[in-house]
Amino acid sequence: MSNKMWGGRFASAPDAIMEEINASIGFDYRFAAQDIRGSQAHLAMLADASIVSREDAEAISKGLDQVRSEIEAGTFTFSRALEDIHMNVESRLADLIGPEAGRLHTARSRNDQVALDFKLWVRDTIDQMDVQLCELQKELAEKALAHAASIMPGFTHLQSAQPITLGHHFLAYVEMLGRDRGRFADARRRLNECPLGSAALAGTSFPINREQTAHALGFDRPTANSLDSVADRDFVLETLSAASITAVHLSRFAEEIVLWATPQFGFARLSDSFSTGSSIMPQKRNPDAAELVRGKSGRIIGALTGLLVVMKGLPLAYSKDMQEDKEGTFDALHSLSLCIAAMTGMVRDIQPDLKRMKASAGAGYSTATDLADWLVKNLQLPFRRAHHVTGSIVKIASDRGVGLEKLSLEDLRSVEPLINEQVFSVLGVDKSVRSRTSYGGTAPTNVKTQAKRWLKQLAKQDRK
């Protein structure tokens, strides 16, 4: 027999393969809470507009409450034959209260219904993600404050560049995550228009009040074009874009943790809580949590790419292709949430080897720029000339296998006769980081100020 929810025109049931490819209940059951919330708001509006009687509305509302209770209790039976969450809910509602359940679908379509459910789900997920990202920022800012003066090497091209502080390094990720939260907030603000009432694609002839349902569901306003309302998945693309950039930031940090944990770097150690061993090599401590964060970024970016490809060729308005918008999104945002939680745990857990970091900070002639700056400030050399002089001095030190601070004054004067003993005041890593006092620089005083600013700001956000 044909599907009782939509099969009036059809004489027979779909082929088994058609049912397999068509059904979405295997994943869109996640919309259950949002679907019922949207239905209750739609029902209240229909009753207020006298489109559905108060008596029927009361019965439908109680039935929806019963359906929600069954789903929350895990006693609800989802049917693949009913295709999706919308029809599963409506079918169970009909079982509970009879044919009057069919009045609920007045003045709406599954097209605007799924757009609504997805927007509500994405909005809820963004709010949860923001809480997680705020917590990760706080952990990083606390670590930054604790290590405002802990010296480590800063790298470019993964080569020692200049000494920095570990606190400064942590704060770099606080800044990145702040931008990530801003992108999620932007996506949330743009998605916060309600598509319900757009029906299949052209609106409806019923005298509905779309402003009422929009405000009841926490939206700023109803969407202004019914075609765009049911065809739009920009809100998913934007959210996945923000998620992908966030995943890239987490992946970069994860890669650094992987490097830091190697014996070759030896900068930090993760406890047993975030490490695993080897089935054959008893000495191994593998930073698997960091590696998995790094690896999961691929599936998050892949979900964005996949949906872009799905949407790029679709004419207005709704096409069944758009059913492919959900599984990748569910997986990507779940994966990102897991990665944020894992990274928060690793930041809390990580044990830096400050002695090893500081020793490494002086390697590779990392104070060469300090020497060049000293030549400019004290001898008034043009920077390009100072750069050349410093390069020649570095060559002497490199040929002898010693640090810049180990060269004699005569060695330095053999390159630039005007150099005096004051030059040694800038050749240590401690002196180098203390001198970087420009706004945004790595000087410990700067790091403390920035860390305290962030912690104060994050505490205010936490109280909202």
- The residues annotated as belonging to the active site are 157, 278
> What's 52's DSSP letter?
S
For 208-244, b where at least 16 C-beta lie within 10 A, e where not — what string?
bbbebbbebbebeebbeebebbbbbbebbbbbbbbbb
DSSP character at residue 99: G
DSSP assignment string, 193-236: EE-TT-TTTT--SS---HHHHHHHTT-SEE-S-HHHHHH--HHH
What are the C-alpha distances in Å from 380 to residues 189, 373, 384, 427, 434?
53, 10, 11, 18, 22
Cβ pair 454, 170 in contact under 8 A: no
Joined together, the tokens standing for residue 401 give: 């296998």
Closest to 235 in 3D by CA, of 108, 120, 317:
120
CA distances from 263 to 272, 291, 356 (A): 16, 16, 11
Query: Under 8 Å CB-to-CB from 150, ≥6 apart: which residues?
Result: 165, 166, 167, 352, 354, 357, 358
Contact of 347 with 143, CB cutoff 8 Å? yes
Of 139, 138, 168, nearest in space to 440 by CA: 168
Q: Is 269 helix (H, G, I), strand (E, B) or coil?
A: strand
What token pair was written down for 144? Answer: 């930054």
Tell me, what amino acid is at 177?
L
**What backbone phi and psi angles, to 5 degrees, belong to 72?**
-65, -30
